[in-house]
Structure 1
Amino acid sequence: MTARPDSGVTMDETTHTAGDVLIVTGMSGAGRSTAANALEDLGWYVVDNLPPQMLGPLLELTEHAAATLPKVAAVVDVRGRDLFDQLPHEIRGLRSHSNARIVFLDASNEVLVRRFEAVRRPHPLQGAGTLVDGIRKERERLAEIRESADIVIDTSSLNIHQLATRVFELFSDERAARHTLTIMSFGFKYGLPTDVDMVADMRFLPNPFWNEELRGLTGQDERVSEYVLSQEGAPEFVDAYAAALRPVLQGYQRENKRHAVVAVGCTGGKHRSVATAEELARRLSDEPGVAVRVMHRDLGRE
Protein backbone atom coordinates (compact mmCIF):
# COMPACT_ATOMS: atom_id res chain seq x y z
CA MET A 1 0.00 0.00 0.00
CA THR A 2 1.20 3.54 -0.69
CA ALA A 3 -0.16 6.73 0.84
CA ARG A 4 -0.30 9.72 -1.47
CA PRO A 5 0.85 12.92 0.26
CA ASP A 6 -1.89 15.24 1.58
CA SER A 7 -4.59 13.23 -0.12
CA GLY A 8 -6.37 11.73 2.86
CA VAL A 9 -6.71 8.55 0.82
CA THR A 10 -4.62 5.38 0.92
CA MET A 11 -4.47 3.69 -2.45
CA ASP A 12 -3.15 0.38 -3.71
CA GLU A 13 -0.49 0.56 -6.40
CA THR A 14 -2.49 -1.91 -8.50
CA THR A 15 -4.96 -0.30 -10.88
CA HIS A 16 -8.61 -1.25 -10.40
CA THR A 17 -11.86 -0.10 -11.89
CA ALA A 18 -13.96 1.64 -9.24
CA GLY A 19 -17.71 1.56 -9.03
CA ASP A 20 -19.83 4.66 -8.58
CA VAL A 21 -19.33 6.43 -5.25
CA LEU A 22 -21.65 9.07 -3.84
CA ILE A 23 -20.99 11.13 -0.74
CA VAL A 24 -24.34 12.22 0.67
CA THR A 25 -24.10 15.12 3.09
CA GLY A 26 -25.83 18.38 3.90
CA MET A 27 -27.83 20.15 6.56
CA SER A 28 -29.38 18.19 9.42
CA GLY A 29 -33.11 17.99 8.78
CA ALA A 30 -32.76 18.49 5.02
CA GLY A 31 -33.61 14.89 4.15
CA ARG A 32 -30.38 12.87 4.09
CA SER A 33 -32.11 9.77 5.49
CA THR A 34 -34.86 9.97 2.89
CA ALA A 35 -32.29 10.35 0.11
CA ALA A 36 -30.28 7.42 1.47
CA ASN A 37 -33.38 5.21 1.59
CA ALA A 38 -34.24 6.12 -2.00
CA LEU A 39 -30.71 5.28 -3.14
CA GLU A 40 -30.93 1.95 -1.33
CA ASP A 41 -34.19 1.23 -3.16
CA LEU A 42 -32.33 1.87 -6.42
CA GLY A 43 -29.74 -0.77 -5.55
CA TRP A 44 -27.02 1.39 -4.04
CA TYR A 45 -25.06 0.02 -1.10
CA VAL A 46 -25.58 2.73 1.53
CA VAL A 47 -23.29 3.31 4.51
CA ASP A 48 -24.83 5.69 7.07
CA ASN A 49 -22.97 8.02 9.47
CA LEU A 50 -19.57 7.11 8.07
CA PRO A 51 -16.60 8.91 9.69
CA PRO A 52 -14.85 11.00 7.00
CA GLN A 53 -11.58 9.18 7.68
CA MET A 54 -13.22 5.97 6.41
CA LEU A 55 -13.99 7.40 2.96
CA GLY A 56 -10.55 6.43 1.67
CA PRO A 57 -10.81 2.77 2.74
CA LEU A 58 -14.36 2.69 1.36
CA LEU A 59 -13.16 3.92 -2.03
CA GLU A 60 -10.38 1.33 -2.01
CA LEU A 61 -12.96 -1.37 -1.25
CA THR A 62 -15.08 -0.31 -4.23
CA GLU A 63 -12.02 -0.48 -6.45
CA HIS A 64 -11.29 -4.05 -5.39
CA ALA A 65 -14.92 -5.17 -5.42
CA ALA A 66 -16.49 -3.17 -8.23
CA ALA A 67 -18.33 -6.24 -9.50
CA THR A 68 -20.10 -6.82 -6.17
CA LEU A 69 -20.26 -3.17 -5.05
CA PRO A 70 -20.90 -1.25 -8.28
CA LYS A 71 -22.75 1.61 -6.57
CA VAL A 72 -21.86 2.82 -3.07
CA ALA A 73 -23.28 5.82 -1.21
CA ALA A 74 -21.78 7.10 2.04
CA VAL A 75 -23.83 9.39 4.30
CA VAL A 76 -21.47 11.73 6.15
CA ASP A 77 -22.72 14.46 8.47
CA VAL A 78 -22.13 16.40 11.67
CA ARG A 79 -23.22 13.49 13.83
CA GLY A 80 -19.52 12.62 13.58
CA ARG A 81 -18.84 15.76 15.66
CA ASP A 82 -15.11 16.59 15.68
CA LEU A 83 -14.38 13.87 13.10
CA PHE A 84 -16.56 15.76 10.62
CA ASP A 85 -14.04 18.61 10.43
CA GLN A 86 -11.83 16.31 8.35
CA LEU A 87 -14.44 15.93 5.60
CA PRO A 88 -13.23 18.78 3.31
CA HIS A 89 -9.68 17.37 3.43
CA GLU A 90 -10.86 13.82 2.74
CA ILE A 91 -13.03 14.97 -0.16
CA ARG A 92 -10.13 16.81 -1.79
CA GLY A 93 -8.15 13.58 -1.58
CA LEU A 94 -10.96 11.53 -3.08
CA ARG A 95 -11.45 13.92 -5.98
CA SER A 96 -7.78 13.63 -6.94
CA HIS A 97 -8.09 9.86 -7.39
CA SER A 98 -11.66 9.01 -8.32
CA ASN A 99 -14.94 10.09 -9.83
CA ALA A 100 -16.65 10.24 -6.44
CA ARG A 101 -19.48 12.75 -6.42
CA ILE A 102 -21.01 14.86 -3.65
CA VAL A 103 -24.76 15.19 -3.17
CA PHE A 104 -25.63 18.04 -0.80
CA LEU A 105 -29.08 18.26 0.82
CA ASP A 106 -30.11 21.76 1.87
CA ALA A 107 -33.17 23.68 3.07
CA SER A 108 -33.92 27.16 4.34
CA ASN A 109 -33.30 27.93 8.02
CA GLU A 110 -37.01 28.50 8.59
CA VAL A 111 -37.91 25.08 7.19
CA LEU A 112 -35.17 23.36 9.19
CA VAL A 113 -36.43 24.95 12.42
CA ARG A 114 -39.98 23.75 11.70
CA ARG A 115 -38.77 20.21 11.00
CA PHE A 116 -36.75 20.00 14.21
CA GLU A 117 -39.63 21.41 16.22
CA ALA A 118 -42.00 18.86 14.66
CA VAL A 119 -39.89 15.91 15.83
CA ARG A 120 -38.92 17.62 19.12
CA ARG A 121 -35.24 16.86 18.79
CA PRO A 122 -32.29 19.19 19.39
CA HIS A 123 -29.89 20.12 16.64
CA PRO A 124 -26.61 18.12 16.87
CA LEU A 125 -24.59 21.35 17.20
CA GLN A 126 -26.84 23.57 19.28
CA GLY A 127 -25.33 22.62 22.64
CA ALA A 128 -26.62 25.05 25.26
CA GLY A 129 -27.84 27.41 22.54
CA THR A 130 -30.94 27.48 20.38
CA LEU A 131 -31.94 25.56 17.26
CA VAL A 132 -31.01 28.60 15.17
CA ASP A 133 -27.54 28.64 16.78
CA GLY A 134 -27.00 25.00 15.82
CA ILE A 135 -28.20 25.53 12.25
CA ARG A 136 -25.96 28.57 11.86
CA LYS A 137 -22.90 26.66 13.11
CA GLU A 138 -23.63 23.75 10.79
CA ARG A 139 -24.11 25.99 7.77
CA GLU A 140 -20.75 27.65 8.45
CA ARG A 141 -19.00 24.28 8.73
CA LEU A 142 -20.60 23.00 5.53
CA ALA A 143 -20.06 26.11 3.36
CA GLU A 144 -16.94 24.77 1.61
CA ILE A 145 -18.50 21.37 0.96
CA ARG A 146 -21.70 22.88 -0.43
CA GLU A 147 -19.65 25.05 -2.77
CA SER A 148 -17.84 22.02 -4.20
CA ALA A 149 -20.89 19.72 -4.40
CA ASP A 150 -21.78 18.14 -7.74
CA ILE A 151 -25.51 18.12 -7.00
CA VAL A 152 -27.36 20.39 -4.56
CA ILE A 153 -30.95 19.47 -3.73
CA ASP A 154 -32.97 22.14 -1.95
CA THR A 155 -35.73 20.32 -0.07
CA SER A 156 -37.46 23.39 1.37
CA SER A 157 -40.60 22.82 -0.70
CA LEU A 158 -40.37 19.01 -0.93
CA ASN A 159 -42.05 16.41 1.24
CA ILE A 160 -40.38 13.04 1.77
CA HIS A 161 -42.16 11.47 -1.21
CA GLN A 162 -41.21 14.30 -3.55
CA LEU A 163 -37.59 14.11 -2.38
CA ALA A 164 -37.49 10.36 -2.98
CA THR A 165 -38.90 10.96 -6.47
CA ARG A 166 -36.20 13.55 -7.12
CA VAL A 167 -33.50 11.06 -6.12
CA PHE A 168 -35.04 8.45 -8.39
CA GLU A 169 -35.02 10.95 -11.26
CA LEU A 170 -31.37 11.78 -10.65
CA PHE A 171 -29.93 8.31 -10.19
CA SER A 172 -32.11 5.68 -11.85
CA ASP A 173 -30.71 4.21 -15.07
CA GLU A 174 -28.08 6.92 -15.22
CA ARG A 175 -25.39 4.56 -16.59
CA ALA A 176 -26.97 4.84 -20.02
CA ALA A 177 -25.93 8.49 -20.27
CA ARG A 178 -22.95 10.61 -19.28
CA HIS A 179 -25.18 13.53 -18.31
CA THR A 180 -28.73 13.87 -17.04
CA LEU A 181 -30.61 17.06 -17.87
CA THR A 182 -33.75 17.88 -15.91
CA ILE A 183 -35.99 20.51 -17.47
CA MET A 184 -38.25 21.88 -14.73
CA SER A 185 -41.26 24.10 -15.28
CA PHE A 186 -42.28 26.36 -12.40
CA GLY A 187 -44.40 29.38 -11.46
CA PHE A 188 -42.65 32.58 -10.44
CA LYS A 189 -45.48 33.37 -8.02
CA TYR A 190 -44.46 30.29 -5.99
CA GLY A 191 -40.82 31.32 -5.84
CA LEU A 192 -37.72 30.82 -7.95
CA PRO A 193 -36.21 27.30 -7.65
CA THR A 194 -32.93 27.41 -5.79
CA ASP A 195 -31.25 24.22 -6.99
CA VAL A 196 -31.08 25.02 -10.71
CA ASP A 197 -28.28 25.86 -13.13
CA MET A 198 -30.13 28.00 -15.69
CA VAL A 199 -33.46 29.83 -15.73
CA ALA A 200 -35.65 30.81 -18.70
CA ASP A 201 -38.55 33.26 -18.31
CA MET A 202 -41.56 32.67 -20.58
CA ARG A 203 -43.62 35.60 -19.30
CA PHE A 204 -42.88 37.48 -22.52
CA LEU A 205 -45.58 35.36 -24.20
CA PRO A 206 -49.36 35.93 -23.90
CA ASN A 207 -50.83 34.02 -20.95
CA PRO A 208 -53.37 31.30 -21.89
CA PHE A 209 -54.93 31.87 -18.46
CA TRP A 210 -56.83 34.81 -19.95
CA ASN A 211 -58.31 32.59 -22.67
CA GLU A 212 -61.42 30.99 -21.16
CA GLU A 213 -61.18 27.97 -23.47
CA LEU A 214 -57.61 27.26 -22.34
CA ARG A 215 -57.66 28.37 -18.70
CA GLY A 216 -58.63 24.96 -17.31
CA LEU A 217 -56.09 23.10 -19.43
CA THR A 218 -52.30 22.83 -18.99
CA GLY A 219 -49.25 23.09 -21.17
CA GLN A 220 -49.35 19.33 -21.59
CA ASP A 221 -52.58 19.65 -23.56
CA GLU A 222 -52.09 19.93 -27.31
CA ARG A 223 -54.35 22.99 -27.65
CA VAL A 224 -52.37 24.93 -25.07
CA SER A 225 -49.04 23.80 -26.47
CA GLU A 226 -49.99 24.87 -29.98
CA TYR A 227 -51.25 28.22 -28.68
CA VAL A 228 -48.08 28.94 -26.68
CA LEU A 229 -45.57 27.79 -29.26
CA SER A 230 -47.28 29.65 -32.12
CA GLN A 231 -47.08 33.05 -30.41
CA GLU A 232 -44.78 35.70 -31.85
CA GLY A 233 -41.27 35.10 -30.59
CA ALA A 234 -41.92 31.60 -29.21
CA PRO A 235 -40.49 29.54 -32.13
CA GLU A 236 -37.43 31.78 -32.32
CA PHE A 237 -36.86 31.47 -28.56
CA VAL A 238 -37.16 27.68 -28.48
CA ASP A 239 -34.91 27.30 -31.53
CA ALA A 240 -32.25 29.61 -30.09
CA TYR A 241 -32.42 28.25 -26.53
CA ALA A 242 -32.16 24.62 -27.61
CA ALA A 243 -29.25 25.53 -29.87
CA ALA A 244 -27.54 27.40 -27.00
CA LEU A 245 -27.96 24.47 -24.63
CA ARG A 246 -26.36 21.91 -26.94
CA PRO A 247 -22.74 23.14 -26.57
CA VAL A 248 -23.35 23.60 -22.84
CA LEU A 249 -24.42 19.96 -22.50
CA GLN A 250 -21.41 18.84 -24.53
CA GLY A 251 -19.15 20.87 -22.25
CA TYR A 252 -20.75 19.40 -19.14
CA GLN A 253 -19.90 15.93 -20.42
CA ARG A 254 -16.29 16.95 -21.06
CA GLU A 255 -16.07 18.36 -17.53
CA ASN A 256 -17.74 15.25 -16.05
CA LYS A 257 -20.67 17.27 -14.68
CA ARG A 258 -23.26 14.54 -14.42
CA HIS A 259 -26.45 16.52 -13.86
CA ALA A 260 -27.94 19.93 -14.60
CA VAL A 261 -31.34 21.54 -14.10
CA VAL A 262 -32.85 24.06 -16.50
CA ALA A 263 -35.82 25.86 -14.98
CA VAL A 264 -38.48 27.31 -17.29
CA GLY A 265 -40.84 29.72 -15.58
CA CYS A 266 -44.08 31.56 -16.17
CA THR A 267 -46.51 33.19 -13.75
CA GLY A 268 -48.28 30.13 -12.36
CA GLY A 269 -46.28 27.23 -13.79
CA LYS A 270 -49.29 25.79 -15.59
CA HIS A 271 -49.34 26.84 -19.25
CA ARG A 272 -46.40 28.63 -20.91
CA SER A 273 -43.58 27.11 -18.87
CA VAL A 274 -45.01 23.60 -19.12
CA ALA A 275 -45.48 23.75 -22.89
CA THR A 276 -42.00 25.20 -23.40
CA ALA A 277 -40.34 22.68 -21.07
CA GLU A 278 -41.97 19.81 -22.92
CA GLU A 279 -40.87 21.21 -26.29
CA LEU A 280 -37.29 21.80 -25.13
CA ALA A 281 -37.15 18.24 -23.82
CA ARG A 282 -38.37 16.96 -27.19
CA ARG A 283 -35.76 19.01 -29.03
CA LEU A 284 -32.89 17.87 -26.80
CA SER A 285 -33.90 14.22 -26.42
CA ASP A 286 -31.56 13.16 -29.22
CA GLU A 287 -28.49 14.89 -27.78
CA PRO A 288 -25.71 12.24 -27.62
CA GLY A 289 -24.81 11.11 -24.12
CA VAL A 290 -27.63 13.07 -22.46
CA ALA A 291 -30.72 11.68 -20.74
CA VAL A 292 -33.47 14.30 -20.62
CA ARG A 293 -36.18 14.31 -17.95
CA VAL A 294 -39.07 16.71 -17.49
CA MET A 295 -40.38 17.84 -14.12
CA HIS A 296 -43.34 20.19 -13.56
CA ARG A 297 -42.85 21.63 -10.08
CA ASP A 298 -46.06 23.62 -9.73
CA LEU A 299 -48.45 21.82 -12.04
CA GLY A 300 -51.62 21.05 -10.11
CA ARG A 301 -51.39 24.00 -7.72
CA GLU A 302 -54.35 26.32 -7.54
Structure 2
Amino acid sequence: MSAELGELGGNGGGTIHLVVLSGLSGAGKTVALRTLEDFDFYCVDNLPAALMPALVSAVSLGGHRRIAVGVDVRNRSEDLNQLPQVLAELAGTGVDYQLIFLDSRDDVLSKRFSDTRRRHPLSADGLPLHDAIALERKLLRPLAAIADRVIDSSELNVHQLRRLIATELGMSGGALSLLFESFAYRRGLPTDADFVFDARVLPNPHWDPALRPLSGKDAAIRDWLQAKPEVRRFLDQLTGFLDEWLPRFEADNRSYVTICIGCSGGRHRSVYLAERLAEHFRGTREQVLTFHRELE
Protein backbone atom coordinates (compact mmCIF):
# COMPACT_ATOMS: atom_id res chain seq x y z
CA MET A 1 0.00 0.00 0.00
CA SER A 2 2.78 2.46 0.91
CA ALA A 3 4.62 1.81 -2.34
CA GLU A 4 1.43 2.44 -4.24
CA LEU A 5 0.94 5.77 -2.49
CA GLY A 6 4.50 7.03 -2.66
CA GLU A 7 5.51 10.10 -0.67
CA LEU A 8 2.15 11.84 -0.78
CA GLY A 9 2.89 14.43 1.85
CA GLY A 10 5.85 15.83 -0.03
CA ASN A 11 5.00 15.46 -3.72
CA GLY A 12 5.51 19.12 -4.52
CA GLY A 13 2.06 20.43 -3.67
CA GLY A 14 2.48 20.76 0.10
CA THR A 15 1.44 18.52 2.94
CA ILE A 16 -1.84 16.62 2.64
CA HIS A 17 -4.13 17.19 5.64
CA LEU A 18 -6.59 14.35 6.23
CA VAL A 19 -9.38 14.55 8.80
CA VAL A 20 -11.10 11.25 9.57
CA LEU A 21 -14.47 11.77 11.24
CA SER A 22 -16.06 8.90 13.11
CA GLY A 23 -18.49 8.54 15.96
CA LEU A 24 -21.96 7.56 17.00
CA SER A 25 -24.93 8.05 14.72
CA GLY A 26 -26.70 11.24 15.72
CA ALA A 27 -23.62 12.78 17.37
CA GLY A 28 -23.02 15.27 14.54
CA LYS A 29 -20.69 13.69 11.99
CA THR A 30 -22.74 14.95 9.04
CA VAL A 31 -22.72 18.50 10.44
CA ALA A 32 -18.94 18.26 10.87
CA LEU A 33 -18.42 17.05 7.30
CA ARG A 34 -20.59 19.82 5.88
CA THR A 35 -18.67 22.40 7.88
CA LEU A 36 -15.33 21.15 6.56
CA GLU A 37 -16.75 21.11 3.03
CA ASP A 38 -17.50 24.82 3.46
CA PHE A 39 -13.81 25.28 4.26
CA ASP A 40 -12.87 23.69 0.93
CA PHE A 41 -12.10 20.20 2.22
CA TYR A 42 -12.75 17.42 -0.28
CA CYS A 43 -15.33 15.42 1.70
CA VAL A 44 -16.46 11.80 1.34
CA ASP A 45 -18.88 10.09 3.73
CA ASN A 46 -19.25 6.40 4.55
CA LEU A 47 -16.00 5.38 2.88
CA PRO A 48 -14.75 1.83 3.55
CA ALA A 49 -11.52 2.25 5.48
CA ALA A 50 -9.63 -0.01 3.06
CA LEU A 51 -10.32 2.45 0.22
CA MET A 52 -8.91 5.47 2.05
CA PRO A 53 -5.35 5.27 0.64
CA ALA A 54 -6.66 5.08 -2.94
CA LEU A 55 -8.97 8.04 -2.30
CA VAL A 56 -6.21 10.16 -0.78
CA SER A 57 -3.91 9.34 -3.70
CA ALA A 58 -6.51 10.16 -6.36
CA VAL A 59 -7.78 13.33 -4.69
CA SER A 60 -4.31 14.70 -3.98
CA LEU A 61 -3.30 14.15 -7.60
CA GLY A 62 -6.26 16.35 -8.48
CA GLY A 63 -4.75 19.17 -6.43
CA HIS A 64 -6.72 18.87 -3.18
CA ARG A 65 -4.54 19.10 -0.06
CA ARG A 66 -7.36 19.08 2.52
CA ILE A 67 -9.48 15.91 2.69
CA ALA A 68 -12.15 14.82 5.15
CA VAL A 69 -13.54 11.28 5.31
CA GLY A 70 -16.48 9.96 7.30
CA VAL A 71 -16.04 6.44 8.69
CA ASP A 72 -18.76 4.96 10.84
CA VAL A 73 -20.57 1.78 11.80
CA ARG A 74 -21.92 1.34 8.29
CA ASN A 75 -18.43 0.02 7.46
CA ARG A 76 -17.94 -3.70 7.77
CA SER A 77 -16.30 -4.68 11.04
CA GLU A 78 -13.18 -5.90 9.21
CA ASP A 79 -12.84 -2.47 7.55
CA LEU A 80 -13.13 -0.73 10.92
CA ASN A 81 -10.46 -3.03 12.33
CA GLN A 82 -8.12 -2.08 9.46
CA LEU A 83 -8.36 1.66 10.12
CA PRO A 84 -5.43 1.98 12.58
CA GLN A 85 -3.13 0.19 10.13
CA VAL A 86 -4.40 2.28 7.21
CA LEU A 87 -3.77 5.52 9.09
CA ALA A 88 -0.29 4.39 10.13
CA GLU A 89 0.61 3.64 6.53
CA LEU A 90 -0.75 6.99 5.36
CA ALA A 91 1.33 8.73 8.01
CA GLY A 92 4.34 6.84 6.70
CA THR A 93 3.81 8.46 3.28
CA GLY A 94 3.83 11.94 4.78
CA VAL A 95 0.10 12.48 5.17
CA ASP A 96 -0.80 14.60 8.21
CA TYR A 97 -3.98 13.10 9.65
CA GLN A 98 -6.35 13.59 12.59
CA LEU A 99 -8.95 11.11 13.79
CA ILE A 100 -11.88 12.96 15.36
CA PHE A 101 -14.54 10.97 17.23
CA LEU A 102 -17.98 12.48 17.82
CA ASP A 103 -19.75 11.17 20.90
CA SER A 104 -22.92 11.96 22.82
CA ARG A 105 -24.87 10.59 25.76
CA ASP A 106 -27.29 7.76 25.07
CA ASP A 107 -30.32 9.75 26.22
CA VAL A 108 -29.42 12.63 23.90
CA LEU A 109 -28.94 10.29 20.95
CA SER A 110 -32.30 8.64 21.63
CA LYS A 111 -34.02 12.02 21.70
CA ARG A 112 -32.38 13.13 18.47
CA PHE A 113 -33.52 9.99 16.67
CA SER A 114 -37.00 10.43 18.10
CA ASP A 115 -37.19 14.10 17.08
CA THR A 116 -35.99 13.49 13.53
CA ARG A 117 -37.81 10.16 13.06
CA ARG A 118 -34.67 8.72 11.48
CA ARG A 119 -33.80 5.06 11.72
CA HIS A 120 -30.60 4.05 13.42
CA PRO A 121 -28.30 2.24 10.94
CA LEU A 122 -28.19 -0.81 13.26
CA SER A 123 -31.93 -0.94 13.97
CA ALA A 124 -32.68 -3.49 11.25
CA ASP A 125 -34.51 -6.68 12.15
CA GLY A 126 -36.43 -4.95 14.93
CA LEU A 127 -33.46 -4.14 17.19
CA PRO A 128 -34.67 -1.53 19.72
CA LEU A 129 -33.04 1.88 19.52
CA HIS A 130 -31.29 1.68 22.91
CA ASP A 131 -29.81 -1.72 21.95
CA ALA A 132 -28.69 -0.37 18.57
CA ILE A 133 -26.91 2.55 20.28
CA ALA A 134 -25.24 0.18 22.75
CA LEU A 135 -24.07 -2.11 19.95
CA GLU A 136 -22.73 0.82 17.92
CA ARG A 137 -20.84 2.15 20.93
CA LYS A 138 -19.24 -1.27 21.42
CA LEU A 139 -18.26 -1.58 17.74
CA LEU A 140 -16.72 1.89 17.63
CA ARG A 141 -14.95 1.75 21.01
CA PRO A 142 -11.55 0.87 19.43
CA LEU A 143 -11.74 3.99 17.23
CA ALA A 144 -12.67 6.21 20.16
CA ALA A 145 -9.66 4.83 22.03
CA ILE A 146 -7.17 5.95 19.34
CA ALA A 147 -8.88 9.24 18.41
CA ASP A 148 -6.79 12.41 18.49
CA ARG A 149 -9.84 14.31 19.70
CA VAL A 150 -13.16 13.16 21.17
CA ILE A 151 -15.94 15.75 20.88
CA ASP A 152 -18.95 15.27 23.13
CA SER A 153 -21.86 16.98 21.37
CA SER A 154 -24.41 16.24 24.11
CA GLU A 155 -24.74 19.90 25.13
CA LEU A 156 -24.04 21.44 21.72
CA ASN A 157 -26.63 22.64 19.23
CA VAL A 158 -25.95 22.54 15.50
CA HIS A 159 -24.56 26.08 15.42
CA GLN A 160 -22.20 25.51 18.35
CA LEU A 161 -20.90 22.28 16.81
CA ARG A 162 -20.27 24.03 13.49
CA ARG A 163 -18.35 26.76 15.28
CA LEU A 164 -16.26 24.20 17.18
CA ILE A 165 -15.41 22.23 14.04
CA ALA A 166 -14.60 25.38 12.10
CA THR A 167 -12.43 26.74 14.88
CA GLU A 168 -10.49 23.54 15.56
CA LEU A 169 -10.29 21.96 12.12
CA GLY A 170 -11.46 24.25 9.36
CA MET A 171 -9.29 27.29 9.90
CA SER A 172 -5.69 27.53 8.83
CA GLY A 173 -2.96 30.07 9.39
CA GLY A 174 -4.73 32.02 12.11
CA ALA A 175 -6.68 34.25 9.68
CA LEU A 176 -10.07 35.62 10.72
CA SER A 177 -12.88 33.24 9.80
CA LEU A 178 -16.39 34.49 9.08
CA LEU A 179 -19.74 32.77 9.48
CA PHE A 180 -22.74 34.41 7.82
CA GLU A 181 -25.89 32.90 9.30
CA SER A 182 -29.51 33.51 8.29
CA PHE A 183 -32.36 32.95 10.73
CA ALA A 184 -36.05 33.61 11.41
CA TYR A 185 -36.87 36.01 14.22
CA ARG A 186 -39.96 33.98 15.10
CA ARG A 187 -37.66 31.12 16.16
CA GLY A 188 -35.44 33.31 18.29
CA LEU A 189 -32.01 34.91 17.98
CA PRO A 190 -28.92 32.74 17.42
CA THR A 191 -27.15 32.33 20.73
CA ASP A 192 -23.59 32.89 19.54
CA ALA A 193 -23.90 35.91 17.22
CA ASP A 194 -21.29 38.67 17.24
CA PHE A 195 -23.41 40.91 14.99
CA VAL A 196 -27.17 40.74 14.31
CA PHE A 197 -28.85 42.66 11.47
CA ASP A 198 -32.60 42.87 10.93
CA ALA A 199 -33.78 42.51 7.32
CA ARG A 200 -37.51 42.61 8.11
CA VAL A 201 -37.69 46.23 6.91
CA LEU A 202 -36.96 45.09 3.34
CA PRO A 203 -39.51 44.07 0.69
CA ASN A 204 -40.63 40.48 1.23
CA PRO A 205 -40.91 38.04 -1.70
CA HIS A 206 -42.97 35.76 0.55
CA TRP A 207 -46.10 37.65 -0.55
CA ASP A 208 -45.63 36.58 -4.18
CA PRO A 209 -47.19 33.06 -4.43
CA ALA A 210 -44.78 32.11 -7.22
CA LEU A 211 -41.74 33.00 -5.10
CA ARG A 212 -42.92 31.78 -1.70
CA PRO A 213 -41.68 28.14 -2.05
CA LEU A 214 -38.20 29.26 -3.10
CA SER A 215 -35.26 30.40 -0.99
CA GLY A 216 -32.76 33.22 -1.14
CA LYS A 217 -30.37 30.84 -2.93
CA ASP A 218 -32.64 30.63 -5.97
CA ALA A 219 -32.06 32.87 -8.98
CA ALA A 220 -35.66 34.13 -9.05
CA ILE A 221 -35.40 35.40 -5.46
CA ARG A 222 -31.99 36.93 -6.10
CA ASP A 223 -33.28 38.77 -9.19
CA TRP A 224 -36.41 39.98 -7.35
CA LEU A 225 -34.44 41.36 -4.39
CA GLN A 226 -31.60 42.83 -6.47
CA ALA A 227 -34.18 44.84 -8.40
CA LYS A 228 -35.24 46.68 -5.20
CA PRO A 229 -33.24 49.90 -4.55
CA GLU A 230 -33.67 49.65 -0.78
CA VAL A 231 -32.28 46.11 -0.79
CA ARG A 232 -29.22 47.23 -2.74
CA ARG A 233 -28.72 50.16 -0.36
CA PHE A 234 -29.08 47.91 2.70
CA LEU A 235 -26.53 45.45 1.30
CA ASP A 236 -24.09 48.21 0.33
CA GLN A 237 -24.24 49.81 3.77
CA LEU A 238 -23.89 46.49 5.54
CA THR A 239 -20.92 45.53 3.37
CA GLY A 240 -19.27 48.89 4.02
CA PHE A 241 -19.77 48.54 7.78
CA LEU A 242 -18.20 45.08 7.86
CA ASP A 243 -15.36 46.08 5.51
CA GLU A 244 -14.42 48.83 7.95
CA TRP A 245 -14.83 47.01 11.27
CA LEU A 246 -13.83 43.39 10.66
CA PRO A 247 -10.12 44.31 10.37
CA ARG A 248 -10.40 45.77 13.90
CA PHE A 249 -11.55 42.36 15.15
CA GLU A 250 -8.62 40.77 13.35
CA ALA A 251 -6.20 43.26 14.91
CA ASP A 252 -7.64 42.30 18.31
CA ASN A 253 -6.56 38.68 17.67
CA ARG A 254 -10.10 37.41 17.11
CA SER A 255 -10.14 34.22 15.06
CA TYR A 256 -13.87 33.78 14.41
CA VAL A 257 -16.78 36.22 13.88
CA THR A 258 -20.44 35.26 13.38
CA ILE A 259 -22.65 37.71 11.48
CA CYS A 260 -26.36 36.88 11.67
CA ILE A 261 -29.06 38.30 9.41
CA GLY A 262 -32.68 37.71 10.35
CA CYS A 263 -36.03 38.12 8.64
CA SER A 264 -39.56 36.90 9.31
CA GLY A 265 -39.29 33.37 7.95
CA GLY A 266 -35.54 32.95 7.46
CA ARG A 267 -35.96 31.75 3.86
CA HIS A 268 -35.71 34.72 1.50
CA ARG A 269 -34.24 38.08 2.52
CA SER A 270 -31.86 36.85 5.23
CA VAL A 271 -30.60 33.96 3.09
CA TYR A 272 -30.06 36.25 0.11
CA LEU A 273 -28.10 38.77 2.19
CA ALA A 274 -25.98 36.11 3.91
CA GLU A 275 -25.07 34.60 0.53
CA ARG A 276 -24.24 37.97 -1.02
CA LEU A 277 -22.07 38.98 1.93
CA ALA A 278 -20.25 35.65 1.78
CA GLU A 279 -19.62 36.15 -1.93
CA HIS A 280 -18.15 39.58 -1.24
CA PHE A 281 -15.78 38.44 1.50
CA ARG A 282 -14.68 35.30 -0.33
CA GLY A 283 -13.00 37.69 -2.74
CA THR A 284 -10.50 38.66 -0.06
CA ARG A 285 -10.67 35.87 2.55
CA GLU A 286 -10.27 32.12 2.39
CA GLN A 287 -12.31 31.13 5.42
CA VAL A 288 -15.92 32.13 4.90
CA LEU A 289 -18.89 29.97 5.94
CA THR A 290 -22.61 30.30 5.39
CA PHE A 291 -25.29 28.61 7.46
CA HIS A 292 -29.02 28.92 6.92
CA ARG A 293 -30.71 27.83 10.11
CA GLU A 294 -34.24 27.51 8.74
CA LEU A 295 -33.13 25.67 5.58
CA GLU A 296 -31.17 22.93 7.38
Length-normalised TM-score, structure 2: 0.52
**Identical pairs, percent:** 33
Distance 2:131 2:15 in 1: 40
- Counterpart selection for 2:25 from 23, 28, 35: 28
Rate the CA distance shift 1:119–1:154 in 2: closer, same or farther, 3 A. Answer: same
- Counterpart selection for 1:53 from 50, 53, 65: 50
Aligned-pair CA distance for 1:63: 4.5
Counterparts of 1:134-173 in structure 2, within 5 Å, are 134-173=132-171
Q: Tell which has more relative contact order, 1 or 2 (C-alpha 8 A, sep 6+).
A: 2
Q: Equivalent residue of 1:79, what SS?
A: coil
Rate the CA distance shift 1:96–1:137 in 2: closer, same or farther, 3 A. Answer: farther
- Counterpart selection for 1:78 from 49, 73, 76: 73
Q: 1:126 corresponds to which residue?
A: 123
Contact 1:32-1:105 within 8 A present in 2 as well: yes
- Counterpart selection for 1:107 from 98, 104, 109: 104
The structure carrying a bigger helix percent of its residues is 2
Aligned length: 176
Distance 1:85 1:172 in 2: 27
Q: Give the ranges of 4+ consecutive aligned residues of structure 1 lying more than 4 Å apart after TM superposition.
A: 291-294
Aligned-pair CA distance for 1:93: 3.0
Rate the CA distance shift 1:22–1:13 in 2: closer, same or farther, 3 A. Answer: closer
Contact 1:26-1:146 within 8 A present in 2 as well: yes
Length-normalised TM-score, structure 1: 0.51
Rate the CA distance shift 1:131–1:162 in 2: closer, same or farther, 3 A. Answer: same
Unaligned runs of 5+ in 2: 176-252, 257-296
Q: Equivalent residue of 1:49, what SS?
A: coil
Q: 2:64 corresponds to which residue?
A: 69
Aligned residue type for 1:129: L
Aligned-pair CA distance for 1:293: 6.7
Distance 1:21 1:142 in 2: 20
Contact 1:18-1:62 within 8 A present in 2 as well: no
- Counterpart selection for 2:83 from 81, 87, 90: 87
Aligned-pair CA distance for 1:49: 1.4
Q: Equivalent residue of 2:18, what SS?
A: strand
Q: Which digits, 9 at most, give the CA deviation of each residue in 1:7-35, with x for residues without a partner?
A: xx842378624421111111111001111
